[in-house]
Structure 1
Amino acid sequence: MKGKRHLVSWSAALFGVLGFVFLVAAIGTDFWYLVDASKLERLSNSTERLSSHSGLWRTCRFQSTCQPMVNPFKPDTENITASHKQLLTLITLAGLSLYISYSAAALKEARFLMGTNRLLDHINIQFGWSLAFAWFSFVAEVLTGLAFLLMSRMIGLERRRDRSI
């Protein structure tokens, strides 16, 4: 039984560390949302780059500079308390979830409305690997919680068995 407990505790630690690493990578990178307009760029013979990728904190044009988005946590916001920052983070995550579902529906509607124009056939819009890292983090954190619950159950059964002896 002790060997199983060690295995579960190491699994919990491993999943916890992986969840944290994936979350840091997801939050810190700029590949949540990708817009590939290279087909349109070739068709129009334009020198302007239309393709871009976005993260939680900034939007970047490919082969160009990145533009920061509004940052509610910049140093000159001294009147925002820690609880306000936590609330803003929670609202940001909820808004991100709504944004994901809305953008898929908006793209479908735009394709319907464009009909014969077919402009959107030359633009590829997709979610990037930063979002995948966020999902990996979520799964790893759920597995961490399940491992802790299993460990608790194992310890409880072991204590009951020891009391009955």
Structure 2
Amino acid sequence: MTFGYVVVGAGLTGVLSFSCLTLAIGSEYWYIIEDKRTNHTDPPHMHSGLWGVTDEDDQSHTKDPSRHSESEKQMEIMHRVIAILLPLSLVMLVFGGICSLVSSLARSRTLLIASASYFLLCSLLTLSGVSLYIRYSQTAMEETEKRMGREQMAQVHTSFGWSMDMAWLSFLLEVITGLLLLLAARLVPVYQYEDSVAPI
């Protein structure tokens, strides 16, 4: 395994992680709601993104903020934090890619380690955002169950959608990118040594 192959691998996983997170943030299939009740007015199929809930006809459903309970206010705070963490991680990935490119061209062990740490920090932000969204969704369903009752909620099927899968995949790719950059940093001395003895 050579320095060049490791750096190219890190570059590919970095680009893929950015693409997956961009797709996750921009899509609206984080949470899927299938309502099988017969005596309700809401659409039977809805999907939720980071920015709201949408039915099959792509109509937004909003609530009157003045009617929010204390728990719903806490959910609103969680939602705002999620809306900051994930886009922030996305922006940081761009700068991480630039730093990684400069580090690999300079063949600097220190810069590569710094870039690897940066990508691992991005992965922590992504993980925090995804984990908080899971908690946010659970709290939302608990609040809905309090209003509707368990019998009604038994007819409502919920699951995480492919947008969530993309976010998890981005997290894993960010970790892999960081680890590959750490490996590249370890290969730098060997690579430079081979270059120095090659003419001999």
Counterparts in 2 of 1:48 and 1:134: CA distance versus 1, 3 Å: closer
Q: Of residues 84, 95, 108 in structure 2, which corresponds to 1:89?
A: 84
TM (normalized to structure 2)? Answer: 0.55
2:154 partner SS: helix
**Alignment of 1:62 onto 2:95:** no
- Note the residue ranges of structure 1 that are not aligned, 5 or more in a row: 70-85
Counterparts in 2 of 1:143 and 1:7: CA distance versus 1, 3 Å: same
Q: Which residue of 1 aligns with 2:18?
A: 20
1:102-144 CA deviation, whole Å, 9 max, x = no partner? 5437757949x94xx5222211111111111011011111111
Deviation of residue 65 (structure 1)?
1.8
Q: Which residue of 2 aligns with 1:98?
A: 132
Higher helix residue share: 2
AA partner of residue 31 (structure 1):
Y
**Alignment of 1:146 onto 2:179:** yes
AA partner of residue 169 (structure 2):
F
Counterparts in 2 of 1:146 and 1:89: CA distance versus 1, 3 Å: same
Q: How does 1:24-63 map to 2 (within 5 A)?
A: 24-37=22-35, 39-40=36-37, 43-44=38-39, 48-63=42-57
Q: Of residues 152, 160, 164 in structure 2, which corresponds to 1:127?
A: 160
> Is the 8 Å Cα contact of residues 30 and 162 (structure 2) preserved in structure 1?
yes
1:132 partner SS: helix
> Is the 8 Å Cα contact of residues 32 and 128 (structure 1) preserved in structure 2?
yes
AA partner of residue 90 (structure 1):
L
Paired residues, what number? 139
2:169 partner SS: helix
Identity %: 36
Cα root mean square deviation, aligned: 3.7
> Is the 8 Å Cα contact of residues 57 and 68 (structure 1) preserved in structure 2?
no
1:1-35 CA deviation, whole Å, 9 max, x = no partner? 6xx22221221111011001001100000111111
Counterparts in 2 of 1:27 and 1:105: CA distance versus 1, 3 Å: closer
